Structure 1
Amino acid sequence: MKKIAILSTLLVTSMAFAVAPKDTLVIQRSADIPTMDPGVTYDTASAEVVDQMYETLLTYSGSSLTKLEPLLATKWAISNGGKTYTFDLRKNVKFHSGATMTCADAEYTFERNLVTNSAESGNWFIAESLTGVQGNANDEKSVTWAVIDKAVECNNAGQLVFNLPKVDPAFLAKLAYTGQAIIEKKYTTGLGEWSGTEKDWKEWVGKDLTGSNLSKKPNGTGPYEFVRADANTFLATAFDGYWGKKPAIKNVISQKVPELAARQQAFLRGDADFIDGGGRSVDEAQIKGKPGVTWIDNLPNTTATAIFMNEKINPSGGLLGSGKLDGKGIPSNFFTDVNVRRGFSYAFNYQQYIEDVQKGKGKQRTMLLPDIFPGYDPKVKTYTYAPAKATAALKKAFGGQVWKNGFTLTANYRANSVPAQTAMEILKRNIEALNPKFKVILQPKQWSEMLAASKKGEEAMMLMGWAPDYADPDNFMYTFYASDGYYSPRANWKDASVDKWLKQARSTVNTAQRNRLYSLVGNRAYEQAPFILIPGGIDYTFFRSNIKGITAQNYNPMISTRWADLSKS
């Protein structure tokens, strides 16, 4: 009770700190924390706190994206031709409840993720590994209780055993994802969550865990334990029973402060140690170089972004105009002609985007894959801004009808997103400059509405990105390029050779073979131009200079900064 009373006092007084106390980390964020249940953690705000309270079997080693090291596991073995994984679990690990972690807890964790799996939960990719399909039992008849029960088991030696239906070269990387953190079975079922048995499993299939009882009362094995939270503030304290190195920072306060100016002022005063910034141009102008600020630049960027050109535009979206190539609209299959796609790709000014949006800190990529990921091929050709080549391609499109008749294309962009608006305006300006009969109408639209419409194929063009769930090229390549990939309904591009190569890459653990296959996909995508590849940014971070423990050498873009690794001078 004394601990909670002290932290409650910190909550009240934290906004008035002259300088955040040495034993307390103060974070100011721009948004809510949607959930604290690992089973549905699929956003960065939630992951930031879940990563501190819970732990996974494996984690990334230092700054490496390819080397994994044990966390709650101590070692593992792969057998049965790459389809069976057996893990030894760390002994004497305590949950915040005081209970000792057992294999039964780990088994329950993964079975719960398979039962409640949904695209929104982020468990679709672990489900694909363990059940063979992305969907849950409501989506796929093949997902039965017997399949889930067999997928993950504890053997007589207390080891955790995964039984995969087929080889998955990305499986270990998937286990390092925050959403696969281990929870305590007895504690969780005691809160009224799924029992862990066949008795009530169907009642929990696909269930949204965002506001679960576990989210309200988190209980992990991590270095920090939950104290309390309200709409604006999250409080945690170092867990005395933690099995690993004891944190130097005792208390953590994470506050929701929506106004950027207020966050900036608190940070520059020293009231906050970390804040959500406002993007490179804003942060460079307002934060970089100020007294008491450490700025680390030229960090790896692990997102990939493109302008999608939908080859099967759903007319229900109301964006086709006349629906014909008569200058007053476009047909729903407008982007099926490769010459249209090539013309648009040549019309985008990539260097201008780097200068205007990324302030010169950007890099044109050859594939929709971060250039630090395995499988990235820098030798794949890229499109450049070339009006003459754009003109030549569009003169060929639809047997010359595009150039002769012109078109009116209506495209939406994410409201209040400067990068999205700027990218679409660059494309609009350059397309319309090619031919006075070409018209591009841009409209802002709420992001939630765009996501829903794009899933139904209603958006003609849209800028969309992907951040990795796990550090394996499959998470990008299959997502973007496969005809049954996550983004397929947005682009409706299909290439039989690409599908074949992507499936082959999923069925081998031979890195050289996978890299060769991804190069084939990259080269084929260049030829067919299904997307306009937006240059990748160059990341940076900043924090108060009295914070120790963060360097460019130990920075890993796949995981949140661990509070337990930090100290304050």
Structure 2
Amino acid sequence: MKRVVLTGLLMLAGAALAQKNPDTLTVLTSADWSGFDPAYCYDTACGDIIQNTTETLFFPDGANPGRFVPLLAAEIPTVANGGISRDGRTYTIKLRPNLKFSDGTPLTAEDVEYSFERMMVYSADTGAAGLINLPLLGSPELVRKGGKIGYAQIDRAVEARDRNTVVFTLPKAFTPFISVLAFSTFSVVSKNAAIKGGDWSGTARDWERFNNLDNTEAKFRRTGLLGSGPFVIERYDEGKTVVLRRNTNYWRAPAKLARVIIQNVPDDTTRIQMLRTGDADMVHRNSIPEAQLPNVQSIPGIKVTNSPSLAMTVFNMNVKINGTGSNVLGSGRLDGRGIPANFFSDKNLRKAFAYAFDYNTYIREVLRGNAIQPSGVMIRGMPGYNASDPKYKYDPALAERYFKAAWGGRVWQNGFVLPVYWNTGNTRRQRALELLKRNVEALNPKFRIDVREVPFSQYSTLQADHRMSMNVAGWQLDYADPYNMAEAWLIPDGYYGRSTQYNNPRIAALVEQGVGESDTNKRLSLYRQAHRLAFDDVAMIPIYQLNDIYIQRDYVKGRIINPIFSQDYYYPISK
């Protein structure tokens, strides 16, 4: 962590602090990094680095979440220009001429093919492969050795037709495919550099060796892969700092900044002090809790911007907990000293927790009113959202009734010890669990909740391994379509479906039917049915949908504020 040093500058009241290091941007975050290999990245911390050191075929168009511009691609494919077949199953994408990686070597369609096939080959538990597997392989299921989807399907899905043309073949039409291709970790990396570094060969010969390879064994976890982005990784102090250096071989005009320093500063007070003294220029989105905003807004020269988010935060409940090698289950029984592995498989128990949380108090006191309470996967800002949908409410009497019904009365009679989890630096999640703990334990002296802190670098791994019983989790839409939120939580092979192991076949069938429906009204009707059924079944417990908060010094220019962005893009930024 960078030391906080008071500058000693004499400042007039209300005067802004003079900026330091005009060609270097110092950014603060409240989470560390799990690594920089795109195959393993599905969170904002790693995505921030990958988005700035590698590039995608398409990119969000300014502040508009549903529109895109070509980046590595030469144009947006359409049926009219021949880029999309009339049945919607074939996308032919031309690359810009003279693209090159940061080492000066050319970027070609062969690199595009390798990058997407590598993502599907790896199919890492913590990565975003399910997001691209769905349109390209017909299922969000991760590819596994001996599974129903193998290398032959991966190899057919993406082909380099020539040096500057790549063809994607889909098993069925998938309308938001361009949006998926713009997701930050579906970036293009150098095939030659990867193979020389000991990575997958790009053939069937060794694909199984890299399939679901553990993150600790990934060769490019600390360094990232060779990309074509406006910056390169200059230094990584694990868990503390990432330094990005301007790419001098960039195929476009060079970035305005020479360096970007991203520091992990878990303590809220320290982050605010660094903004105050000018030792930091900006913080990542939502990295300052609402309770601290008055302290930030009182700093001369600070700019605070609010923008509606396309994200939801929930309590996740794991219905089949993996207690191997951890103390998550305690005794493993409903005897007052632990919980069974299938503790949350009881719908009455899920309902009890849903009615034991005080949503209004949390939003008012912790988030300072800077959020709304969602009712489920059809969130505000997306087609199909209805503000009058029913929501869970804080009702201790109703919570008690459901606790007494859970597990045939044994939960209420015997009690439990339940560990719940939040990640270091995220005080919003900590406060939510502490409020839940207070309310639940007040119902019965035999109820005990153990609030546990976990470094973010371990959080995703524990979640993917099913080793957390209940945790706070968030989902930022990858693309502006209701399917993306529904698939994440309501499909067994979706991102959170894989970790919570929640499976309601009726709900999953509706969601899957919706993605293949071309009629917009019919499609939204299917999603709304799934949304309501998931509410009744308590698939998850929605807590809040924030307004995003962006904080920076007023001399920072060019920051893009887009609700689809879960990280910052430093290329257009200057001081």
TM-score category, normalised to shorter length: 0.7 to 0.9
Q: For residues 391 and 549 of structure 1, do their structure 2 counterparts lie closer, same or farther at Cα, with a shift above 3 Å needed? A: same
Kindly report which structure 2 residues correspond to 1:339-488, keeping only aligned pairs within 5 A, or say none: 339-390=348-399, 401=409, 406-414=413-421, 418-431=427-440, 439-447=446-454, 461-488=470-497
Question: Does the alignment pair 1:24 with 2:32?
Answer: no
1:387 Cα deviation after fit:
4.1
Question: Does the alignment pair 1:270 with 2:292?
Answer: no
Distance in 2 separating the partners of 1:426 and 1:124? 34
Residue 265 of structure 1 aligns to a residue in which SS? helix
Residue 442 of structure 1 aligns to a residue in which SS? strand
Asked if 1 retains the 8 angstrom alpha-carbon contact of 2:374 and 2:544, the reply is yes
Distance in 2 separating the partners of 1:160 and 1:353? 49
| Partner of residue 544, structure 2 | 535
User: Normalising by structure 2, what TM-score?
Assistant: 0.82
Residue 382 of structure 1 aligns to a residue in which SS? coil
Question: Does the alignment pair 1:219 with 2:226?
Answer: yes
**Residue 305 (structure 1) aligned to one of 295, 300, 313:** 313
Question: Does the alignment pair 1:49 with 2:57?
Answer: no
Kindly report which structure 2 residues correspond to 1:312-323, keeping only aligned pairs within 5 A, or say none: 318=329, 323=334
Distance in 1 separating the partners of 2:401 and 2:3? 66
Question: Does the alignment pair 1:109 with 2:115?
Answer: yes
Which segment is superposed worse, 107-116 or 261-270?
261-270
| Partner of residue 569, structure 2 | 562
**Residue 286 (structure 1) aligned to one of 295, 300, 303:** 295
1:385 Cα deviation after fit:
2.4
Distance in 2 separating the partners of 1:527 and 1:389? 15
| Partner of residue 120, structure 1 | 126
Question: Does the alignment pair 1:239 with 2:253?
Answer: no
1:13 Cα deviation after fit:
13
Distance in 1 separating the partners of 2:221 and 2:355? 51
Asked if 1 retains the 8 angstrom alpha-carbon contact of 2:356 and 2:440, the reply is yes
Asked if 2 retains the 8 angstrom alpha-carbon contact of 1:301 and 1:370, the reply is no
Counterpart amino acid of 1:268?
A: R
**Residue 260 (structure 2) aligned to one of 247, 252, 258:** 252
Q: For residues 517 and 319 of structure 1, do their structure 2 counterparts lie closer, same or farther at Cα, with a shift above 3 Å needed? A: farther
Counterpart amino acid of 1:482?
A: I
Asked if 1 retains the 8 angstrom alpha-carbon contact of 2:312 and 2:374, the reply is no
**Residue 96 (structure 2) aligned to one of 69, 90, 93:** 90
Question: Does the alignment pair 1:179 with 2:150?
Answer: no
Distance in 1 separating the partners of 2:231 and 2:521? 40
1:159 Cα deviation after fit:
1.9
| Partner of residue 6, structure 1 | none
Q: For residues 14 and 228 of structure 1, do their structure 2 counterparts lie closer, same or farther at Cα, with a shift above 3 Å needed? A: farther
CA displacement 1:68-127 (0-9 Å, x = unmatched):
221111232222622221112111222222223221121121122222221223223213
Asked if 2 retains the 8 angstrom alpha-carbon contact of 1:301 and 1:537, the reply is yes
Q: CA RMSD in A?
A: 3.8
Distance in 2 separating the partners of 1:315 and 1:275? 37
Distance in 1 separating the partners of 2:449 and 2:564? 33
The count of corresponding residues between Structure 1 and Structure 2 is 549
1:278 Cα deviation after fit:
5.5
Distance in 1 separating the partners of 2:373 and 2:357? 12
Question: Does the alignment pair 1:61 with 2:68?
Answer: no
1:225 Cα deviation after fit:
3.8
| Partner of residue 206, structure 1 | 212
**Residue 529 (structure 2) aligned to one of 489, 502, 520:** 520
| Partner of residue 9, structure 1 | none
Distance in 2 separating the partners of 1:335 and 1:218? 40
Which segment is superposed worse, 146-155 or 557-566?
557-566
Q: For residues 323 and 450 of structure 1, do their structure 2 counterparts lie closer, same or farther at Cα, with a shift above 3 Å needed? A: farther
Distance in 2 separating the partners of 1:514 and 1:215? 42
CA displacement 1:525-554 (0-9 Å, x = unmatched):
233334332122322011111111237xx4
Asked if 2 retains the 8 angstrom alpha-carbon contact of 1:41 and 1:178, the reply is no
**Residue 156 (structure 2) aligned to one of 122, 131, 150:** 150
Q: Which runs of 5+ in 1 are unaligned?
A: 1-11
Counterpart amino acid of 1:86?
A: T
Asked if 2 retains the 8 angstrom alpha-carbon contact of 1:366 and 1:379, the reply is no
Asked if 1 retains the 8 angstrom alpha-carbon contact of 2:303 and 2:551, the reply is yes
Distance in 2 separating the partners of 1:257 and 1:153? 43
Distance in 2 separating the partners of 1:131 and 1:147? 7
Counterpart amino acid of 1:562?
A: Y
1:287 Cα deviation after fit:
1.9
1:507 Cα deviation after fit:
1.8
How much identity, in percent, do the aligned residues show?
Answer: 30
| Partner of residue 138, structure 2 | 132
1:168 Cα deviation after fit:
3.0
Counterpart amino acid of 1:376?
A: Y
Distance in 1 separating the partners of 2:110 and 2:323? 51
Which segment is superposed worse, 140-149 or 534-543?
140-149
Q: For residues 531 and 37 of structure 1, do their structure 2 counterparts lie closer, same or farther at Cα, with a shift above 3 Å needed? A: closer
Q: For residues 213 and 464 of structure 1, do their structure 2 counterparts lie closer, same or farther at Cα, with a shift above 3 Å needed? A: closer
| Partner of residue 80, structure 2 | none
Kindly report which structure 2 residues correspond to 1:155-166, keeping only aligned pairs within 5 A, or say none: 155-156=161-162, 158-166=164-172
Counterpart amino acid of 1:264?
A: I
Asked if 1 retains the 8 angstrom alpha-carbon contact of 2:302 and 2:554, the reply is yes
CA displacement 1:505-542 (0-9 Å, x = unmatched):
12234433322111111222233334332122322011
Asked if 2 retains the 8 angstrom alpha-carbon contact of 1:310 and 1:459, the reply is yes
Asked if 2 retains the 8 angstrom alpha-carbon contact of 1:219 and 1:226, the reply is no
Distance in 1 separating the partners of 2:127 and 2:542? 27
CA displacement 1:258-292 (0-9 Å, x = unmatched):
66555433332223212458631454143222012
Q: For residues 163 and 359 of structure 1, do their structure 2 counterparts lie closer, same or farther at Cα, with a shift above 3 Å needed? A: same
Asked if 1 retains the 8 angstrom alpha-carbon contact of 2:290 and 2:370, the reply is no
Distance in 2 separating the partners of 1:359 and 1:353? 8
